[in-house]
Amino acid sequence: MSKITRVPGYMQSKGNRNRGPIGDREIRYKCSMQNTILDVLRARPGWQEVSGPNTAANQQQPGQKGDGDWDFYWCDREWLHANYDTMFLQEHQKILHFRNHYELTRKNLMVKNLKRLRKQTEREMGKKEAESFDFFPTTYELPSEYHIFVEEFKKNPGIIWIMKPAAKSQGRGIFLFRKLKDITDWKKGEYQPLTDPNREVPETYVVQRYIENPYLIGGRKFDIRVYVLVVSYNPLKVWLYRSGFARFSNSRFSLDSIEDAYVHLTNVAVQKTAPDYDPDKGCKWATQQLRQYLTAKHSADAARKVFQGIDNIIIKSLQSVQKIIINDKHCFEMYGYDVLLDSKLKPWLIEINASPSLTASGKDDYDLKYGVLNDVLNVLDLENRLTGKEKRVGGFDLIWDDGPVLADDGSMECSVNGSSTTANSFLGCHSERKKQLREIYTAAQALKKSVAS
């Protein structure tokens, strides 16, 4: 008998002999999270949870099927890193995360890839085209680029810089500084370049020029969380969710106290620890509310340019890793983009999250995240209900399909002055068309009067 050579699932297309295509049968899923995504999966008609190691159902419930083959797995990154290279996937199976997603979601690698594509664009298409990449602050990796950073620091005395661990989230380990001596303690000890080969490799940080002139609402700083679904890198296929939220700081913005995290960091994990934080009120606006505000305060055209700038950030950042990410038809990624506006309404990319928080901070937050996740499953379409030609599925709009996607004639205009957009992108727009347009217009006028008074 000849020896059978098996290859990982991402290199083969034939299925497991024990289970055929989904067809009309139930869809079996695994989930390693205990939050909103589990609620969505359990409420999905015709979907059956299976238990197993590292899943929410690892303690089998009555009537629940044991571990075995599955069709869909919402796994955590640690499980993927430990198991991906030895997995054997069937044709129809779907799993969260691409193998090397960190090329975009680690802060140092994200900037490295963006810098590389910007240089390539300037070399091939000129400086003007390369300017479309000027949406991330001056950034250096530490400790490897410490001396280069010091040279830049000395060229711009007095400005504020921000230090961030390259692979941490929720605001952990972040601090601001104005003087080199302020990072003396950080630089000492474990962060010095290695001289002893037996010493542990120091944690990687990035140091960025701090955006000192953020756009403020009510005197408070905020950033915008945007949900982006990538179902393929080759060809690149990108869906943008039209709803999201702006996260506000709990304290009024000031550069007088750069050590106050409640002033400078908008992460909910940070803000909810503030002594005067109100969990019922929270610190969030829906993206639709933010778009209405910008329309009323500035103009529909100004608001449109803001969100076009965010579209540009999304596409350029994904293109920067398009040839690096290990593309696998079994994989998908739901990113959480964090974008900051400056006082001139220019959007800046702060970071990209491979595992945006799915734990809700309130009813509205739960409804938003439930809708996002339910529509992710609708786009992935394990039930085989779609034609494959859709430009909109639920709250997701297809903005890139191996090239820019244009809106169909008669699609919703997200404006209040009669102008429309040709791109199939409606971030901050409502789902319904004429009715919601009237509501946008009415709300914008009311906000305009409020701002004027």
Residue 449's pLDDT is what? 59
State the amino acid at position 371 in one-letter form: G
Q: What is the pLDDT of residue 450?
A: 56
Q: What is the pLDDT of residue 92?
A: 84
Helix H or strand E encompassing 125:
helix 107-125
Structure tokens at 92: 């129809």
Q: Which residue has the tokens 């994904």?
A: 318
State pTM to two decimals.
0.84
Contact 135, 211 (CB under 8 A): no
| pLDDT at residue 304, rounded to an integer | 94
pLDDT of 156 reads: 87
Nearest to 42 by CA among 72, 83, 6: 72
Residue-level pLDDT at 68? 53
State how far the alpha carbon of 62 is from the alpha carbons of 36, 43, 45, 51, 65, in Å: 22, 17, 19, 11, 9
Residues of the chain with pLDDT under 50: 1-19, 58-67, 189-190, 192-196, 198-200, 410-413, 415-420, 433-441
pLDDT at residue 295, as a whole number? 96
Give the distance, in angstroms, between the CA of residue 47 and the centroid of all CA atoms in the same chain: 27
**pLDDT averaged over every residue in the chain:** 82
Q: How far apart are CA 27 and CA 46, in angstroms?
A: 6
| Local structure of 368: helix, strand or coil | helix
Three-class DSSP category at 100:
coil
Q: Tokens for 351? A: 């970071």
> In this predicted structure, what is the pLDDT of residue 22?
67
For residue 67, what pLDDT is reported?
46
Q: What is the pLDDT of residue 18?
A: 45
pLDDT on residue 15: 37
